[in-house]
Amino acid sequence: MRGPPGRGPPPRGPPGGAHAVRRPPPTDVPAPPPGATTLRGLTLPGLANAHSHAFHRALRGRTQVGSGTFWTWRDVMYGVADRLTPDSYFALARATYAEMALAGITCVGEFHYLHHGPGGTPYADPNAMGEALIAAAAEAGIRITLLDTAYLSSGFGEPPNHHQTRFSDGTADAWAERAAALKPAGHARIGAAVHSVRAVPADQLTTVADWAKEREAPLHVHLSEQTAENDACLAAHGRTPTRLLADHGVLGPRTSAVHATHLTDEDIALLGGAASTICMCPTTERDLADGIGPAVALQRAGSPLSLGSDSHAVIDLLEEARAMELDERLRSRTRGHWTAAALLRAATEDGHASLGWADAGRIEPGALADLTTVALDSVRTAGPAPRHGAETAVFAATGADIRHTVVGGRHVVRDGAHQLVPDVPRALADSIAALSG
């Protein structure tokens, strides 16, 4: 097994072999060998949070007051973004990533578009905000894929509004030049993102796609989260967002479409045919009343599935896995669309692959030693036979049942306590209070 984050980049490329959930461990070992660390419970590959906006953690509780829409929620989000600095973003992200580690997450895909200072003025280090996120993940003890995001327009042909000037590099070429200065580290890899078809002009989509292709890097994109986006894209270009992305070379096996909620049959065929991963974020999609995406049809068409906590209304990948199945049951009025093993694969191996960590997400020789252990003796998980551990983890456990989190062989969470951030609730409270306005 390879060493912890920060000690040199791990080799690239998948080690091959079966997923841990599909290959039960031996049961005839009488006792751990001398010097072994025992992880009591159900030990899985570390969980991959494939879609995060770290600063949205400051919105928890605030945006659940009253009613509203995605668009009114976005106005509150802008208010938080306006107050962030590299230092305050580091503090908030460090606490948020520590919360993820407590929930068994060993790798996060950070969809990062808050690049510049107030008014859009670049910092002395143009990547100060992204570097703050990379440093925050290191201090919280988890891996990160920084998905540096092109965000150039407020809508089809419209310039950024006064909030969005902090997000915009002006052009895709300028974005590419700035993003190229970001460097990977032992715990960090660099990817790209198109915020959405409304935020990157169609004639600049190829620039972002080519940047990722040249580097063999992950490329993520928010896709069809809202019907209003679909309607505006049809009015501007005469085609759906998915077709627009396909026509400009954005889709492919290294591409992940986030949400993919409102799709046509042709859209589903395009995404599946390109083997693009779909990142479902059920808790956020429910919280914002977005709708239920066609995950079953997308997977049948050829798209792997991953999971994300997105706006961090909660941070719990077991809940996201459970919600994907249960939401589909509500819509279809039938049960059993995915097995527990398949849902865990979305939360582990396929999530890591979508973030460019093909050497993670499995328990086998040569894979990264990233592990999470679910307690099977809590009030939620006690009772079922051990052979039903996967079903118990997905359909009964929560993030509160994570007993251990190991990243690169280092115990980051031991017996439910974070070993690097001593008081995670206080770190969250203090970093969020600093943004009050």
Cβ atoms within 10 Å, residue 65: 8
Distance of alpha carbon 364 from its chain centroid, rounded? 23
Residues labelled as active-site residues: 259, 310
- CA gap 259, 284 in Å, rounded: 10
- CA gap 51, 312 in Å, rounded: 10
Q: Is 367 exposed, middle or buried (0-12, 13-18, 19+ CB in 10 A)?
A: buried
Using CA atoms of 380, 382, 385, 386 in order, give the dihedral in degrees to the nearest 10: 90
Cβ atoms within 10 Å, residue 373: 22
Within 238-387, where are the H helices?
Answer: 241-247, 265-273, 282-287, 295-301, 317-332, 340-347, 349-354
- Supply φ then ψ for residue 60, to 5 degrees: -60, 130
Q: Is 386 exposed, middle or buried (0-12, 13-18, 19+ CB in 10 A)?
A: exposed
Helices 86-102, 424-433: inter-axial angle, 10-degree rounding: 150
CB-based contacts of 130: which residues, under 8 Å, 6+ apart? Answer: 112, 115, 146, 148, 182
